[in-house]
Amino acid sequence: MTAVNASHPLLPAIVREHNAAEVIALGKDRGAVFYETCHLYAQTLWQQGFPAKCILALNRALSCVLSADEPVMSRLPLPYQALAWLMIHRPGEGQFIGNPRRHWQHLATRMVEPNKELRSWRAWACWYLAKEILPEDEFPPDLKQIREESLREPTRAEIEQRLAALSPADDLQRFQAALDWTRAELGKPTRAPLTMRIRRIEAPELPVVQKLAHRIWPEVYPGIISRAQIEYMLTVWYHPSAMAREMELRGTWFALIEAAGHGPAGYLSFERYPGTDVCFINKLYLLPEMHGCGLGAAALTWAGERAREMGCGRLQLRVNKANAGAIRAYKRAGFTFLDDVCTDIGSGFVMDDFRMEKPL
């Protein structure tokens, strides 16, 4: 066999080329032989320069429901880390890898029997690894499916809980080990729980919001809206006098999100729409380095509590259609899609958003 890639270090070594016919010959068997054959075929595909097909072969291995005491499982662990390695070391141009993140999103939501539930959660575990490894701008989720099917992407805790409940093997331990290894390989720090507070502010502190916005937007929004639009929106919306007018004329609340040891880490603003039971969140932004610490979820909870105190029954917000990370966070917080809203904001710019709502 002429090898394009060096041997995958977490797949079994091979001395000859393996092919699809060997897998097909096993028919509906999903035992230890099938499991090992899929691994051998995956190594062949990797060395031949077919990373996407290698992923498909390992998906087939994950269709096997073997117990932890099967001898093959000690020699060939469930391939979570092997898949993580493949994504981290993905080849450049000329070797098709597809979009693993979207692939596992679809697989998890379209799985069929047998063993549908376990296999779906194994696919979500692989999806989570892809989410951690692959840049979202290059490997985006399927937002159309998320919207049309009201799909909520699961959290790590939910994936771990379902793997522990459903697996006869060591899925949970292998997934956790793969995730820890991945974070170490990528140099991602383990985040300790943060002590934080959210507090309403008055006009004298609005320059802090302005300063945060000028740090956050140029890092978060390129690729979603143009740099010219970023500058325009920062200039028009974030001057302290403009925000102060919102406070005075519309009764808008502004609040700072503060984390112990970090100081101001983000901000939010919201207002009650007159004559309705709707509290509308105008702004909710965090410094990029503070993403994933639970601050956004806490801010949404805090806003919901204040909205109920105002007598509101619904929270609404708008989110840019291309802002997949924010959409994911709002879905997890219980928001659902209402409609599409495209607004002319002047100077040739528009806001092309989804409007979302959560009942209180």
Phi-psi region of 239 (alpha: psi -120 to 50; beta: other; left: phi over 0): beta
Task: Give the three-state DSSP class for 43.
Answer: helix
Mean residue pLDDT across the chain: 94
**Separation of alpha carbons 201 and 222, rounded Å:** 29
Return the amino acid letter for 248.
E
The pLDDT assigned to 59 comes to 97
**Separation of alpha carbons 120 and 128, rounded Å:** 12
Contact predicate 239/203, CB 8 Å: no
Q: What is the mean pLDDT of residues 25-34?
A: 95
Full-model pTM:
0.85
What confidence tier does 92 reach under pLDDT thresholds 50, 70, 90? confident
- Taking only the tens place, the pLDDT of each residue in 139-151 is 999 999 999 998 9
Q: What is the mean pLDDT of residues 237-259?
A: 96
Q: Note every long-range contact of 33-42, with CB atoms under 8 Å and residues 24 or more positions apart, other chains counting.
A: 34/60, 34/61, 34/64, 35/61, 35/64, 35/66, 35/72, 35/76, 36/12, 36/72, 36/75, 36/76, 38/64, 39/11, 39/12, 39/76, 39/79, 40/12, 40/14, 42/8, 42/11, 42/79, 42/82
Cis peptide before 140 (omega within 30 of 0): no
What confidence tier does 26 reach under pLDDT thresholds 50, 70, 90? very high
Tell me the CA distances in angstroms from 137 to 75, 155, 156, 221, 224, one per residue in order: 37, 20, 21, 11, 9
What confidence tier does 226 reach under pLDDT thresholds 50, 70, 90? very high
Tokens for 63?
A: 């269709």
- Taking only the tens place, the pLDDT of each residue in 301-348 is 999 999 999 999 999 999 999 998 899 999 999 999 999 999 999 999
The pLDDT assigned to 110 comes to 96
Q: What is the DSSP string of 45-77?
A: HHHHT-HHHHHHHHHHHTT----TT-HHHHHS-
- Taking only the tens place, the pLDDT of each residue in 156-178 is 999 999 999 999 999 999 999 99
